[in-house]
Amino acid sequence: MQIENYIDGKFVPPLHGSYLKNSNPAENTVIATIPNSTVDDVEMAVTSANNARVVWSAYTLEERIGWLRKIATALDSRKSEVAMLESVDTGKPIKLAERVDASRSVRNFNFFADHAENLTQLRYEMSDATNYVIRKPVGVVGLITPWNLPLYLLTWKIAPALVMGNTIVAKPSELTPMTANLLCEILASINFPRGVINIVHGLGNEVGQAIVEHPDVKAISFTGGTATGKIVAATAAPLFKKLSLELGGKNATIILDDADLSAAAKGAARAAFTNSGQVCLCGSRILVADKVYDEFVDLLVAEVKNMTVGNPKLANTDIGSVISQDHMEKVLSYIELAINENGRLLTGGEPLSLPEPNSTGAFMSPTLISEIAIDSRCATEEIFGPVATIHRFDSDKQAIEMANQTEYGLAGSVWTTDIPRGKALAEQIESGILWINTWLHRDLRTPFGGVKNSGLGREGGDWSLNFFSELTNICVKDD
Ligand code: NAD
């Protein structure tokens, strides 16, 4: 399959004719070629988005909401294709792609349609005047997304940007272009206004960089690694662009001594190994109260050993491949490092060779490591793979200190039967998102984002709509 850019409502080849290979990491096969676009393709996409701006921003909010619902309906009718493509492109289990990626991509459009429909007019009365706030589109916005949740994260940005009247130049990860391309097919099939959404495929340092640098792109919403986020921030800041950065995480799962250990072990395993540990919110450092350490670790190891690593196409597979051979080597190198740092392997730690067609796929067993220092590299750096470290603590105070002992601050979970105690602890953790007795339980209206090196700004509900609009206050003096 040859994928093309989608610019001004048409599928167009890259101007310089160069393509990159795109692989299925579970089968180690090339499944598509994608444009290896350049700054010239980005220029064409920005021109297209700029031309469409007048038309799109002149639509009423109700008309734009109507378009979001049309996209949702069309995407919903191709949900199984979304799941299949996402599974093939990332190596994630088809059942995960159906449950999470495909359904959430549709939901993102419906959610932001509903949310925008219920927007209240902001008004602030003074004794002698009334302020009211109007929203204007920001203009052309640049959306840059990673490979772990391809369409889920792209639509999480596209939907609020569209409904607020912006036009879009987006770059999906070069590792996972398939569902962004499917979305373009859907846009073409419903005669979505041309030029409003433009997708340019290619490498980050060429295409992503050109989007961030372009003077006509007025806002950048970026999700990806912290190192890339630093480059994006350094490029965008002197241009005074609006900037939203959703970056890496190294999240704690904290098991208190009064937790329901069986539920906590299930929750901790899910938090550590969903999508092969390749979710920014994954709980990759598990902190366990001394008193229940042995009992909990036995339960957790049993849970993890029970997970089936296998062909992503099979319904009983819990864990598929990681994103690439290169990434697997990086993850394995962290395990080697942990062992050199006196870590003890409780389970996993190895690459796996599965039966055909997965014999050369990027599969590895889910890995738990104990006896490693909380400030070691494996316990503080984002590995972004199926590896979690386990650490003991002897007081809630120590658990908080350990949880905060990382440069990241995205998420975390606390497991306890004493909710006031859990809340007191959660409130002292330096993270943007905390769960008590659950993980990845999302209400899309709530603020989503990180502190410290996990990012800048918040997405979700009003925060997304505020990011993608310019708020203008008009103060009317009474007679
Ligand atoms: P990455 O930073 O390598 O790439 C992300 C995107 O940025 C890709 O599309 C890439 O091509 C592009 N890019 C690369 N260099 C660029 C540049 N100079 N200018 C502009 N764009 C550039 O990240 P990844 O490996 O694709 O994704 C994994 C990372 O994403 C992990 O760190 C993970 O924690 C993070 N992530 C964060 C969230 C969140 O919401 N906080 C969600 C998902 C993933």
Residue 426 confidence (pLDDT): 98
202 lines ligand 1 (CB under 6 A): no
In the chain, list all ranges with CATH 3.40.605.10.
5-247+454-477
Question: In the prediction, which pLDDT does 347 show?
Answer: 98
227 exposure class (CB count in 10 Å sphere: 0-12, 13-18, 19+): exposed
Q: Is 475 a catalytic residue?
A: no
Into which CATH architecture does domain 5-247+454-477 fall? 3-Layer(aba) Sandwich (3.40)
Q: Do 129 and 208 contact (CB within 8 A), yes or no?
A: no
Start-end of CATH 3.40.309.10 domains in the chain: 252-443
pLDDT tens column, 338-353: 999 999 999 999 999 9
- pLDDT tens for 80-125 read 999 999 999 999 999 999 999 999 999 999 999 999 999 999 999 9
CA of 245 to the centre of ligand 1 (A): 10
* Residues in the chain with pLDDT values less than 50: none
**Distance of alpha carbon 339 from alpha carbon 320, whole angstroms:** 24
Indicate if ligand 1 lies below 6 Å from the C-beta of 432: no
Q: Give this prediction's pTM.
A: 0.97
Q: What is the helix (H) or strand (E) element at residue 140, kind and residue range?
A: strand 140-144
User: Which residue, by CA, sits nearest to atom 37 of ligand 1?
Assistant: 247
pLDDT of amino acid 479? 85
User: Do residues 195 and 4 touch, judged by C-beta distance below 8 A?
Assistant: no
- Asked whether 158 and 111 are in contact (CB, 8 A), the reply is no
Largest CA distance in the chain: 81
Alpha carbon nearest to ligand 1 atom 10, residue? 204
Catalytic, 280? Answer yes
Probe residue for ligand 1, chosen from 104, 214, 241, 280 as the CB with the greatest number of ligand atoms within 8 Å = 280
Class (C level, CATH) for 252-443: alpha beta
Taking the centre of ligand 1 as the mean of its atom positions, its distance from the CA of residue 303, in whole angstroms, is: 30
